[in-house]
Structure 1
Amino acid sequence: MITNISIVNVFVIDQDEARQFYTEVLGFLPRDDVTLAPGYRWCTVAHPNQPELLVSLTIPGPPLTPELIQEMKRAQLAGGMSGLGFNVDDCQRTYEDLTSKGVEFVQPPTARSYGVEAVCRDNSGNWMVLIQLAQQ
């Protein structure tokens, strides 16, 4: 029986820069950072409120085909890769905090039927959604 989600992958351009962004800008904790095989680095971070969920910062590579790797890299450079969605307690305040740290927002906090949502990108161009859920 599956009991929970333990690892999610976020495809990044540079693992060192991504690790720095996720830890220093977003407040995640550094976790694993090891080379498991030539050319394969296992680099993970976790949010302090959800330490059991590892975010693997992964560079597109084998076992993906060379054609798929190239397509993924093109999508990254175009800002077309999806990333993570985050619950936030105050979307406006989080938007202001992250903007002051240089995070690029493609949508400022906007009221939706389910709450307030803002959309930004990480430093590899991945979309990240911040959601402040409406009070029930």
Structure 2
Amino acid sequence: MRISLTSVYVDDQAKALAFYTDILGFRKRHDIPVGNDSWLTVVSPEAPDGPQLLLEPAGHPAVKPYRDALVADGIPLAQFAVDDVNAEYERLRAAGVEFTQPPTDLETVTVAIFDDTCGNLIQIIAEK
């Protein structure tokens, strides 16, 4: 068993695609119209045939209270691995990304949390 697809709920797919590709550096994999929305996925440029992240519309009524509760408690919806949290923190801050938690050393890992501008908190992590 392996992970092939996971998702984050987004308020606006076009805005999310711009953030996840232009700022974070993912690449668009699929953009298939489905009604008023799209089956819109991105992948890591380091693994273009690897796991996909679905930028899923946040229209379901359960999404808003779920995400609001996570954000209020400072809990990230997703976690992305990076080689160097401090370097990625500086790169993303220079691009205007707002962090809710700066790089934090947790002994075996370093983490930081940012706002993805689409309704979610995202954590970046580097193992030591």
Which category of TM-score, normalised to the shorter sequence, fits these structures?
0.7 to 0.9
1:109 partner letter: P
Q: 1:90 aligns with which of 80, 84, 87?
A: 84
- Residues 30-65 of structure 1 show CA distances to partners (whole Å, capped at 9, x for unaligned) of 1111113x234211111112222111001123xx4x
State the TM-score, normalized to the length of structure 2: 0.85
Partners of 1:60 and 1:87 in 2: CA distance: 24
Tell me if structure 1 keeps the 8 A contact 2:97–2:114.
yes
Partners of 2:64 and 2:103 in 1: CA distance: 33
Tell me if structure 1 keeps the 8 A contact 2:31–2:40.
yes
Deviates most, 94-103 or 81-90:
81-90
Partners of 2:14 and 2:92 in 1: CA distance: 20
1:8 partner letter: T
Deviates most, 85-94 or 9-18:
85-94
Tell me if structure 1 keeps the 8 A contact 2:112–2:125.
yes
1:131 aligns with 2:125: yes
Q: CA deviation at 1:82?
A: 3.8
Partners of 2:114 and 2:18 in 1: CA distance: 17
1:47 aligns with 2:44: yes
Counterpart in 2 of 1:20?
A: 18
Q: CA deviation at 1:70?
A: 5.2
1:126 partner letter: N
Q: How many residues align?
A: 125
Gaps of 5+ in 1: none
Decide whether aligned partners of structure 1 residues 32 and 110 sit closer, same or farther in structure 2, where only a CA change above 3 A counts.
same
Gaps of 5+ in 2: none
2:68 partner letter: A
Q: Cα RMSD over matched residues?
A: 2.1
Larger radius of gyration: 1
Tell me if structure 1 keeps the 8 A contact 2:76–2:113.
no
Over the matched positions of the two proteins, sequence identity in percent amounts to: 34
Deviates most, 50-59 or 18-27:
50-59
Give secondary structure in 2 for the equivalent of 1:30: strand
